[in-house]
């Protein structure tokens, strides 16, 4: 396996020195995508937010800015990502507005029915079964809570499919697949949006 393949493989679960570098690049490289995705968040004032697959913690920080009355729980199963997220959000952690923890989205150790909003930026590609994981997300949301998914690949673009072949355990999904899994997991209203010039997508679901 070449160096680039090893590096790209770190997107799934950052580890070691390469993982630290990858998490750093995620925070900067995915910022425009994440900011675009956040424009599709509903007009709500969530008190409890969970950012799943939080990576380097940049998006958790943005959610804290966007919703100044909120508390954000950032979850990732990579200890490298957790450490970076803690560093990025240290001030908010000390202020009691942010919690960062290691966890597996297929078995979330979070209180049921406690979150108003869940987000997943550039991460569901690596989740072990969409319906199982989406059911876990549904379980921790309050009735009427929202789940926002934001992906750089719509499952049809050449780049996304190329990376799915290179990175072990990665799968790019088309919008109908995501919507179907969300409905099977118990979400009711599901709405998708596609970027005008990029293969970026958002899918917003309501419990």
pLDDT in tens, 140-164: 999 999 999 999 999 998 887 876 6
What pTM value is reported for the model? 0.89
CATH superfamily of 23-188: Vaccinia Virus protein VP39 (3.40.50.150)
Q: What's the rounded Cα separation, in Å, for the pair 145 and 118?
A: 8
For 5-44, letters b (16+ CB in 10 Å) and e give eeebbbbbbbeeebbbebbeebbeebeebbeebbeebeee
Phi, psi of 48 (to 5 degrees): -125, 120
Query: Which of 76, 133, 116 lies closest to 100 in space, CA to CA?
Result: 76
Domain boundaries, the chain: 23-188
What pLDDT sits at residue 190? 97
Segment 108-125 mean pLDDT: 97
Six-digit token pair at 61?
A: 């920080």
Six-digit token pair at 171?
A: 């799968």
Beta-sheet pairing, 115-121 with 48-52: parallel
Segment 8-35 mean pLDDT: 62
């Amino acid at each position: 396996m070449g160096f680039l393949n090893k590096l790209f493989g770190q997107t799934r679960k950052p580890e070691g020195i390469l993982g630290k570098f990858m998490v750093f690049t995620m925070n900067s490289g995915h910022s425009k995508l994440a900011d675009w995705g956040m424009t599709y968040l509903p007009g709500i004032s969530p008190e409890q937010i969970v950012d799943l697959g939080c990576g380097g913690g940049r998006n958790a920080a943005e959610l804290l800015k966007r919703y100044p009355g909120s508390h954000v729980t950032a979850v990732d199963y990579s200890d490298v990502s957790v450490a970076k997220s803690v560093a990025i959000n240290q001030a908010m952690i000390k202020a009691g507005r942010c919690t960062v923890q290691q966890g597996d989205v297929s078995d979330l150790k979070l209180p049921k029915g406690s979150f108003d909003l869940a987000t997943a930026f550039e991460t569901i590609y690596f989740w072990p079964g969409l319906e199982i994981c989406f059911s876990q997300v549904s379980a921790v949301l309050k009735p009427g809570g929202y789940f926002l998914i934001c992906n750089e690949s719509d499952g049809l673009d050449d780049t996304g499919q190329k990376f799915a072949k290179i990175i072990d355990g990665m799968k790019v999904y088309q919008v109908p697949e995501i919507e179907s899994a969300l409905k099977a997991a118990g979400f009711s209203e599901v709405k998708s949006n596609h970027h005008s010039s990029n293969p970026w997508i958002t899918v917003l679901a309501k419990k």
